[in-house]
Amino acid sequence: MSTENILLNTFETFENTAPFSKIKEEYFEPAFAKAIEKARAEIDAITQNDDTPSFENTIEALDKSGEALGRISSLFFNLNSAETNDEIQRIAREVSPKLSEFGNDVTLNQDLFKRVKAVYDLREDLELNQEQQTLLDKQYKRFSRNGALLSADKKKRLREIDSQLSKLTLKFGENVLAATNAFELHLPDDSRLAGLPDSAKEAAGEAAEAVGKKGYVFTLDYPSYIPLMTYADDRELREEMSKAFGSKAFNDDFDNQQNILDIVSLRHERAQLLGYRTHAHFVLEERMAKTPEKVRQFSEEILEKAKTAATKEFHELSRFAIATAAEQEHTSPLTQLEKWDAAYYSEKLKQQNFDLDDEMLKPYFKLDNVINGVFSIAERLYGLNFEATDQVDTYHPDVKTYIVKNEDGSLNSIFYADFFPRKGKRNGAWMTSFKSQWKDDQENSRPHVSIVCNFTKPTATKPSLLTFNEVTTLFHEFGHALHGMLADTQYRSLSGTSVFWDFVELPSQVLENWCYEKEALELFAKHYETGEVIPQEYIEKIKAAANFQEGLQTLRQLSFGMLDMSWHGIDPTGIEDVKAHERKTFEKTDLYPDIATSCMSTSFGHIFQGGYSAGYYSYKWAEVLDADAFELFKKNGIFDRPTAQKFREHILSKGGTEDPMLLYTRFRGSEPKIDALLKRAGLVA
């Protein structure tokens, strides 16, 4: 089989890109087995080396080991997120514990740790450069923070915990996807769709047709769910959708409550086993924030500023909603603003205050134009050139591919973009990579980077037209992609987005700022039919509306981070009721009445499936960085090359080679201040 299984060989493709169309599902299990075997042999070669441990024969060799396994893993687990099915999920359940076991075999390998420690103990005498020092420090901590110093019985327990966690987190994600796919709202006609834009109706009609039904079908995928919640006049319809969305994997066939309790208890036990008070203490030791106390202090500081504004905004929205409902003949009297009213009345209030709504803006945000716009911005800032190509294979026909070149014509990277929702693709948006960047023997091996989103699909009569929120999402993920594309480090494990989690959102969030700037908008915001550039008055309205309900938005974001910390910053073993724990946590931030059938935790994939456990605060943390950083661009010009060059040199290209605060200070000249964020958000004068 090895001769036929292309995963086991070097890809004979353009720039070594993944030959997705030729990869069969049955290739993965044997490929993983072989790759693990090869990685074990590479570790054995290090431990059995008779030469005195050195930086080259131990630390560098360890960084290079497992390359084949890493490549196969990146391909497989990206498919499991973007193009999964029952068989891929079965393989994931089989493979994940084996990968966890192998990871433990490395970090708990006493002979390997002795060699790493021998080099680490001599670090002051080795004359290492900064990147080498960082690699050595991270390799040592990789062992010391993951059980290398434990007794044999505790190492055994650590292995058991990691194996259980790999299965539980996978199951959590499978349940959320299954619950999302299980819901379908079918309406036989449009009698309940008053207020809904024609584009949303057309998309729902095509969704119904796709499953062989007449009328309209709505799902919990964002491009279907958000328009209905924002525009449908029928309050009962919004309530039904809201409750369905809020109850994903909660008291249904795909219930995640026990999975959550098991995950947080195991994470806590693991942290204590390693000598940390909680999982958050373990995680945050390797973050900019350093401690849960610092995160709580940071969150409380912003909460104090945001709560007053949010409460005022909530009461304003309530008064507006009650008055508006009273004027609408088709609407029953409204006495209490509920969660399913939020988007609907917020949109109407925004229209009243700013004469602005998404439907007015969408014709100017044709997806293809926005893509070209973000490419133009990358070219102006960093000299990158994007060429669409059919030389790169993909895992689905929707995926677009590009060859990215530097100003001198040399290859920068390969870029993949996957924009539309479909069955087998999880909700949300993310950046990932199929191959990292590294340098070896004078070669600078370039990365293969991908962004995955769930945007409004084209219909029979209209191209994909984005809401402004979708535009900022595209810019956000592209900011992550630039972090990967512009990587320029020696070592694989320090490259691109391999940085502290509360630093990784800076490149993504800072790029969102260009969406609000006239110079940038004029590059891509053009009417899809007439080619007319977005009118200046619309740009002014976008900027004026930028802080609309910022207090409520800030409160919402803080609530997610505080919920995360409530699960991971304490001993969770006494928690028996997931919903009750969540309610207690949300007391500080919730202004809307609770919905008994809803529970956010059961579908909170970022912290229970993704890598954000004890790290969700990092979105707000990075906002402080991005607001402070963008002030410099605003001062010097949003397309100022020297400023962009400094950002590239000190932030984007450096990956995780140095402490992020040092990198940021080199770029900005000082540590970030919270003032820029509070001012931008309109939370202070």
Beta strands in 317-461 (DSSP E): 385-388, 400-405, 411-418, 430-435, 438-440, 443-445, 448-452
Q: Is the pLDDT of residue 441 over 90?
A: no
Strand partners, 216: 187
Question: What are the sequence ranges of the domains in the chain?
Answer: 6-149, 183-246, 278-569+614-685
Q: Is the pLDDT of residue 3 over 60?
A: no
**Residue listed under structure tokens 């290090």:** 46
Q: Is the pLDDT of residue 330 over 70?
A: no
Least-confidence region, from 215-229, 317-331, 429-443, 573-587? 317-331
- Chain segment 559-585, per-residue pLDDT in tens: 999 999 999 999 999 999 999 999 999
Amino acid at 227: P
Burial category of 32 from C-beta neighbours within 10 Å (exposed 0-12, middle 13-18, buried 19 and up): buried
**Which residue in the list 477, 505, 550, 631 is annotated as catalytic?**
477
- 176 Cβ contact list (under 8 Å, min separation 6): 248, 249, 254, 256, 426, 602, 603, 605, 609
Cβ count within 10 A of residue 233? 15
- Chain segment 86-144, per-residue pLDDT in tens: 999 999 999 999 999 999 999 999 999 999 999 999 999 999 999 999 999 999 999 99
* Dist. CA 137–CA 118, nearest whole Å: 12
At the top level of CATH, the class of 6-149 is mainly alpha
Classify domain 278-569+614-685 by CATH number: 1.10.1370.40
Amino acid at 31: A
- Chain segment 165-190, per-residue pLDDT in tens: 999 999 999 999 999 999 999 999 99
Q: Tally the C-alpha atoms within 13 A of residue 180's C-alpha that lie toward its C-beta.
A: 23
- Chain segment 477-497, per-residue pLDDT in tens: 999 999 999 999 999 999 999
Q: Band the pLDDT of 52: cuts 50, 70, 90.
A: very high
Task: Give yes or no: 477 in active site.
Answer: yes
Q: Is the pLDDT of residue 347 over 70?
A: yes
* Dist. CA 212–CA 315, nearest whole Å: 44
* Dist. CA 492–CA 202, nearest whole Å: 46
Strand partners, 586: none
- Chain segment 655-684, per-residue pLDDT in tens: 999 999 999 999 999 999 888 888 888 887
- Residues 345-360: what's their mean pLDDT? 92
State the Cα torsion 271-277-282-283 to the nearest 10°: 110
